[in-house]
Structure 1
Amino acid sequence: MRDPEREDPYLDDRAGRLVRPYTVSNGRTRPTAAFDLLTLVMATGRGRSHNHLGPDHSEVLGLCTTPITVAEIAAHIRMPAAVTKVLLSDLVDSGAVTTREPVVPRHDSTDRDLLEAVLHGLRKRL
C-alpha cells in the first residue's frame, strides 16, 4: 500500500524501484570525487544551475540540509552506495554540496580505561 505522504512515481511498494540504478547514474559506475561511507555531506546553498540534475539529485540535495553521511543518504534514497556516490559527485562538481571526512577518535581504540568503563556499563545493565 502506498504512503500518501511519500508519493514517489519511481517506487512501487510491491515491485520496488521502477528505475534501474544505472539509469539514475547515467551508466556511470565511478564518482568523480572520493567518498567514504562515513563522509559527511552538507548542502552549500549555492552552486551553478541545477537544471541538469534529475529528481534523484534533488532528493539527495534535500537530505543534505544538515550534515549527513553517505551511508545514510544511500539508505534514505534506497540506492546502492556506488550509485549514491555518483549522484553526490555530481552535486559536489556543481558546488551544491560540500564534504568532510569523518572525525577519527584521537584515543587508542584499545585504551584499557575505556574498555573497563564499557564492561562496567554492560555489567550494570545485565
Structure 2
Amino acid sequence: MTGVPRRRMVPAYLATGGRTRPGTAGFERLTVLHAAGTEPPPALHELEDEHRRLWELLQPGALTVVESAAHLRLPVSATVFLAADLVEAGCLRARAPIPRAQQTDRSIVERLLVGLRTLR
C-alpha cells in the first residue's frame, strides 16, 4: 500500500518501562498538558525518545492526553505514563479538564427571550 503511512507499533509495556501505575496520580484522558518552557530541560535528556517526542509535540500549545496519544500513535495508557514522568521531571504541566457546564434553567431563558422581544 503506497501513500498510507505505516503505523509504528510500540508495545505499551516498552513505552511505560514495564510499570503498571504512573508515578503521578490523577491523570485522565482529558487532562490538559502543556510544555513547562521553550528550552529543553536537562531532565529531558535523561528520558526516553518517546518522552522527548511528547515534549516537542506540546511546544506549540496545549493538548489533552488523548490528543497527544493520537499524534504520537501510542495507546492512551502509555501516554499517561509518559506525561506523568515529564510532569514529575518538571518538563510538562498538567491541569484537570474543564468541568462540564451545568444546564441552564429553561424557564429563565424563555423569560429572557420574552423580555428581549418586548424591547422592540
Q: What interval of TM-score do these two structures reach, taking the shorter chain for normalisation? A: 0.7 to 0.9
Secondary structure of 1:35's aligned partner: coil
Aligned-pair identity (%): 35
Cα 1:32–1:2, aligned 2, differ >3 Å: closer, same or farther?
Answer: farther
More helix by share: 2
One-letter code aligned to 1:79: L
Cα 1:18–1:97, aligned 2, differ >3 Å: closer, same or farther?
Answer: same
Is there any run of 5+ residues in structure 1 with no aligned partner, and where? Answer: 4-11, 117-126
Q: 2:96 is matched with which residue?
A: 101
Cα 1:80–1:108, aligned 2, differ >3 Å: closer, same or farther?
Answer: same
**TM-score, structure 2 normalization:** 0.73
Cα 1:44–1:27, aligned 2, differ >3 Å: closer, same or farther?
Answer: same
Secondary structure of 1:42's aligned partner: strand
Is there any run of 5+ residues in structure 2 with no aligned partner, and where? Answer: 111-120
Post-superposition CA distance 1:55-83 (Å, at most 9, x none): 11111111212111011001111111111
Tell me by how many angstroms 1:98 deviates: 0.4
Question: Does 2:57 match 1:63?
Answer: yes
Post-superposition CA distance 1:4-55 (Å, at most 9, x none): xxxxxxxx72xx4243221121111211112111111010116443222111
Q: Report the Cα distance in structure 2 between the residues aligned to 1:92 and 1:22, rounded to whole angstroms.
A: 20
Which structure has the bigger radius of gyration?
2
Secondary structure of 1:28's aligned partner: coil
After the TM superposition, which residues 105-124 of structure 1 pair with which residues of structure 2 at under 5 Å, given as runs? 105=100, 107-109=101-103, 111-112=105-106
Q: Report the Cα distance in structure 2 between the residues aligned to 1:50 and 1:71, rounded to whole angstroms.
A: 21
